[in-house]
Structure 1
Amino acid sequence: MPPTDASANAGTAPVADTGTTSPTARESRIGPAADAGADSEDTLDLHLPDEFVALFAEDTGAHGSRSLGATATATATAGPASASATSAATVEGAGTSTATCASEASPASTTPNPNDLLGDVADWGPISTPAGPLHLVPVRIERDLPIISRWMNDPAVTAFWGLAGPENAIEEHLRSQLIGDGRSVPCMGLLEGTPMSYWEIYRADLDPLARHYPARPHDTGVHLLIGGMSDRGRGLGGTLLRAVADLALDKRPACARVVAEPDIRNTPSVAAFLTAGFRFSAEIDLPVKRAALMIRDRSLRHLL
């Protein structure tokens, strides 16, 4: 899960968290599980998919504990806590991570296919939005670290992403995802060819965030940070979140929903997700925040 939240369309007040806290803070952000009764549709399956069990066991055996969103997150979507930047600087999706769920059960095989955790995000290609074509391009450390570091050290972003600090700390957060098994992919968002946002796309159902909400197979999480001051306060958060959520649903047929968990206090961020067609499902307690569980359902995408 990435940072908690920042904003993207509400001027200078932090909004949605598509980010997360710090690489080490990601796991610590997760708190008690949400009340399953908060959303009668989101009932918790007591039978965990074999794919989830195998991946979780692999992580725990190798490292002793799992990092949120498969990143060292200070990630999404969470963010960042699970899951996201509309007014001040980021749209928070999961406080550190966000997620989507699959409409099909996971394969019976206990051996996960590392190439099928998210599909190849690099090949998702650009998508048209009312603000212009948006293209998610996987982060390249040598090219993108300076600008991401500058964005993360913006006071409006710091409070929600928790990644402010020297470049080497932010680099560690990015590398932990890039050298992982593919369940979390950090991306630069290019709007009409210009870098203006940072994203984390991750498998929420394979993330520690899944312990705190009724996760479903193939749930996909998203975190968003609107970087430039000139791009904040213009309503871009909701516009871009809708486009990316729909892109994930189009490129991942097994995914039935995209989820995020912005800080419940981050009104601009929550508003951005609502504008993007997400619905408020429940409030969940994470270690560093009380989050709003936001869900964009495949079945409702053309209605909301």
Structure 2
Amino acid sequence: MTDAPLFTRTDAALGTFSLRPVDPSPSSQLRSSRGGPIADVELLHGWVTHPKAVFWLMQDCDLPDVEKEFARIAADPHHDAFLGLHNGAPAFLMERYDPAHRELVGIHTAEPGDVGMHFLTAPTATPVHGFTRAVLTTVMDMLFDDPATRRVVVEPDARNTAVHALNKAVGFEILRTVSLPSKDAYLSTCTRDQYLAARGEN
């Protein structure tokens, strides 16, 4: 799998953000030698099981569980996972899905151009002001870079107040609270026009 980014955005304050597909290969297949590059799934296992990632709902997963999950996503025609880089270093995770077929089936009436999304920033002991919003802006820019995308749909945990504030800042509107198998969530949407208006470009 190529390491070439699929999308790149330059932030005036924080530098370069880019995304490439997650490589779901087991870690044993990616280490060329001792001290070689860490596999995506090994890296992501540390992220999704960190206490700060509690809303990602993978706290109890071991490495084989994470390998299996990202292999499943890679094989799913309605779901994709991307590794986000900040100035070339792994820094965030993004998932894109078709809400007509995944996550919100029977709960949200998907319209043509709807795209579902999740994102997660890597845990850090030295947070940078504005970083998570820059990540979300990069994610939204990538999604709307596809002219077929008309609206982004998200379903964050109702208790995740930090992400609700971020979503509002980039143009998301909460439609209603919905009950999903693993959580109560705020079903929220953001059209291309709402996103551009939030960025002051419309």
**What's the TM-score, normalizing by structure 2?**
0.80
The within-5 A match list for 1:225-304 is: 225-230=120-125, 232=127, 234-251=129-146, 253-304=147-198
The within-5 A match list for 1:2-17 is: none
Contact 2:5/2:18 (CA < 8 Å) preserved in 1?
Answer: no
1:300/1:215 CA distance change after superposition, 3 Å: same
- CA RMSD in angstroms, aligned pairs only: 2.0
1:250/1:134 CA distance change after superposition, 3 Å: same
Q: What is the rounded CA distance, in whole Å, between the counterparts of 2:156 and 2:177 in structure 1?
A: 10
Q: Which amino acid aligns with 1:254?
A: A
Partner of 1:129: 11
1:302/1:227 CA distance change after superposition, 3 Å: same
1:135/1:231 CA distance change after superposition, 3 Å: farther
Q: Which moved more, 1:166-175 or 1:293-302?
A: 293-302
SS of structure 2 residue aligned to 1:210: coil
Deviation at 1:213, TM superposition (A): 1.6
SS of structure 2 residue aligned to 1:301: helix
1:196/1:230 CA distance change after superposition, 3 Å: farther
1:175/1:155 CA distance change after superposition, 3 Å: same
1:189/1:278 CA distance change after superposition, 3 Å: same
- Determine if the alignment matches structure 1 residue 189 to structure 2 residue 189: no
Deviation at 1:216, TM superposition (A): 0.9
- Determine if the alignment matches structure 1 residue 153 to structure 2 residue 49: yes
Q: What is the rounded CA distance, in whole Å, between the counterparts of 1:242 and 1:227 in structure 2?
A: 16
Partner of 2:116: 221
Q: Aligned residues, how many?
A: 180
Deviation at 1:123, TM superposition (A): 6.5
Q: Which amino acid aligns with 1:273?
A: N
Gaps of 5+ in 2: 25-29, 31-38
Q: Which amino acid aligns with 1:147?
A: L
Q: What is the rounded CA distance, in whole Å, between the counterparts of 1:210 and 1:235 in structure 2?
A: 33
Gaps of 5+ in 1: 1-121
Contact 1:203/1:218 (CA < 8 Å) preserved in 2?
Answer: no
- Determine if the alignment matches structure 1 residue 212 to structure 2 residue 94: no
Structure ranking higher on relative contact order (CA contacts 8 Å, 6+ apart):
1
Contact 1:177/1:186 (CA < 8 Å) preserved in 2?
Answer: yes
Q: Which amino acid aligns with 1:139?
A: V
1:132/1:123 CA distance change after superposition, 3 Å: closer
Q: Which moved more, 1:161-170 or 1:234-243?
A: 234-243
Sequence identity of aligned pairs in percent?
Answer: 27
Deviation at 1:232, TM superposition (A): 4.3
1:279/1:239 CA distance change after superposition, 3 Å: farther
Deviation at 1:270, TM superposition (A): 0.7
SS of structure 2 residue aligned to 1:178: helix
Partner of 1:175: 71
Contact 1:204/1:218 (CA < 8 Å) preserved in 2?
Answer: no
Q: Which amino acid aligns with 2:182?
A: V
Deviation at 1:268, TM superposition (A): 0.5
Q: What is the rounded CA distance, in whole Å, between the counterparts of 2:42 and 2:166 in structure 1?
A: 27
